[in-house]
Structure 1
Amino acid sequence: MVALLTTPAFAQSLPYHSDPSAREILPSLSPVPAIRFLTTTDFPPFNFRDAGGELIGFNVDLARRICTEVNVACTIQAWPWEQAADALADSQGDALIAGLDMSDENGKRFDFSATYLALPGRFVTRSADIATFDATALAGKTIAVRAGSTHEAFVKRYLPGANIAPFANEVEALAAVQSRAADLFFGDAMRASFWLNENLDCCGFAGDAYFRPAQFGEGLSIAVPAGNDAVRHAIDWALIRLKENGTLDELYLRWFPVGFY
């Protein structure tokens, strides 16, 4: 159990790594004259409207860069979240970039691109305690978690000597660390990064990132209608290229000033 905490699986410092076995040759784009991206407006900093009503965000920038990379025309249309998946299934778009869950149910309707942003679990502690953080010495420490989350289950399994303090959501759990009601937080690193961005004088990430796709989720991917291999292959090829030329990292650093890797 200790080994699982000292050497997190697939720990990495960047949001995406190209699969070395992935195709290096751009697929034929003759069936892909354009990519019609669908997204939503309710998921900042990924996709949302600014004060002027313009659609912006990490996903919006990524969609445009994908089209530029494969040199095809690009449109990005916003839909209400509850209608976006059905719109894609009804061929009102070619790809949905809005964090659609890669569930078994969605897998029956859609195919998914390679993951472009993984979602690790991470510890957060007060700034003064970061330098002395030791993942193997947490017995007796109080760890705040979101009640009922897979992160809570992770702590119960691998840190049986720790005291668990469950909260209704990540914000309350992180606030407990800030107020010293808990020694640490363990949970979704992306959500924690949003909170840390507003509380930089208080706390920070400690230790390494823990990648457990089966527990914490497979990350963010782009959905396409089932069987639309031409668009999916083009997107996958573009993601590889955008990682290799530094664009993906540039977008990550722009939209996530407090990185969660």
Structure 2
Amino acid sequence: MNRVKSLATACVLLIGGVGGAQAESLRIATEGAYPPFNYVDSNNELHGFDVDIAKALCAKMQVECTLVAQDWDGIIPALMANKFDAVVASMVVTEERQKKISFTDRYYRTRLAVAVPKDSSLADTRPATLEGKLVGAQSSSTQSIYAEDVYGAAGAEVKLYPTQDDANSDLANGRLDAVVNDKFPLLDWLAKSGRDCCKLLGDIQGSDDEVAIAVRQDDQALRERLNQALADIRADGTYQQIVSRYFEFDIY
């Protein structure tokens, strides 16, 4: 989903009690530009729901983890090139991605939504409604695929951006008629920096997707360990504690 330029710094999580076959270190990538799921603060440190989930999983697996920020467009190629071991970055599971990488069980569900300027006369998110409009989305994302395949096919002009922040900025400055994004980060933006300029037009019905952790296809042992850790943090209440820091509703 949204992305920072390459960061030289990494956020390191050291977990005590590591031993035996689990003494290896893991590098976990996130994007760092997709609040509230992952973002970088003024001290260049990573925060967000994805980051907290990654830390909880590392603690449960009793491994030493390094969290690194990676631009979204290059995050799958970098995983496949062994630059890190897993991606916890609100990545939606798609058939196309599964041709290259593997996914764990989901750790939340999401759906697409559309935001428009406050003075917009658009009535709904149907493709015909956006015919002839300029619609923004983040490149290499499920929202960009939807924007091009559905809105573009219905006659909208689609403009793609390196990050969702770039698309949101153009919407706020009157250079777009609408943006497509996952609903939760879109609501977060509208509640904060986008509250004075823009509004939610509505959800895109039928766009519900599962979000999971990505690993290399030949790393099924790590995938199964992550699945067990996900089940464990769901069972012991850790997952819900993390959810409650960011949302007032269940996103699982």
TM-score (structure 2 length as normaliser): 0.56
Give me the whole-angstrom Cα distance separating, in 1, the residues matched to 2:193 and 2:98. 36
Tell me which residue corresponds to 2:201: 206
How far apart, in 2, do the equivalents of 1:208 and 1:245 lie?
32
CA contact 1:39–1:78 (8 Å) conserved in 2: yes
1:14 aligned partner:
none
Shift of 1:232: 1.9
SS at match of 1:198: coil
Which residue of the partner structure matches residue 222 of structure 1?
A: 213
Q: How does 1:162-201 map to 2 (within 5 A)?
A: 164-169=156-161, 174=168, 178=172, 185-189=178-182, 192-193=186-187, 195-196=189-190, 197-201=192-196
Q: In structure 2, give the amino acid aligned to 1:204.
A: K
> 1: distance between equivalents of 2:251 and 2:186?
8
State how far apart, in whole Å, the 2-side matches of 1:211 and 1:37 are: 36
Per the TM alignment, residue 61 of structure 1 is displaced from its structure 2 partner at its CA by: 1.1
| Matched ranges for 1:84-163 at <5 A | 84-85=78-79, 88=82, 95-98=86-89, 107=98, 110-118=101-109, 120-127=111-118, 133-135=123-125, 139=129, 143-146=133-136, 149-150=144-145, 151-157=147-153, 160=154
1:212-235 per-residue CA deviation (whole Å, 9 max, x = no partner) reads 47xxxx664323343544432232
The answer to whether the 8 A contact 1:39-1:77 is kept is: yes
Structure 2 counterpart of 1:153, one-letter code: D
The residue identity in structure 2 corresponding to 1:167 is K
Higher normalized contact order (CA 8 Å, seq sep 6+, divided by chain length): 1
2:28 aligned partner: 39
Contact 1:88-1:94 at 8 Å conserved across structures: yes
Residue deviations 1:144-186 (CA, integer Å, cap 9, x gap): 31389431431245xx4xx63443536676566556676x524
Alignment check: 8 A CA contact 1:146 1:166 kept:
yes
Secondary structure in structure 2 of the residue aligned to 1:116:
strand
Residues 116 and 179, structure 2, Cα contact 8 Å, conserved in 1: no
Residues paired across the two proteins, number: 216
Is 1:76 matched with 2:65?
yes
For residues 59-86 of structure 1, the C-alpha deviation after alignment (integer angstroms, 9 at most, x for no partner) is 3211222244xx4313221457468525
Are 2:228 and 1:233 equivalent residues in the alignment?
no
Residue 62 in structure 1 maps to residue 53 in structure 2: yes
Contact 1:119 1:211 in 2 (8 A): no
**Secondary structure in 2 matching 1:187:** strand
Secondary structure in structure 1 of the residue aligned to 2:222? helix
With over 3 angstroms needed to count, the CA separation of the structure-2 counterparts of 1:206 and 1:36, relative to structure 1, is farther
After TM superposition, give the deviation of residue 117 of structure 1 in Å.
4.2
Identity rate, percent: 22
SS state of the match for residue 222, structure 1?
strand
| Distance in 1 between residues matched to 2:108 and 2:46, nearest whole Å | 20
Unaligned runs of 5+ in 2: 1-18
Unmatched tracts of structure 1, length 5 or more: 1-29
Could you say what secondary structure the match of 2:196 adopts?
Answer: coil
Q: Matches of 2:171 and 2:87 in 1, distance apart?
A: 36
Counterpart of 1:27?
Answer: none
Closer, same or farther: CA 242–153 of 1 in aligned 2, 3 Å: same
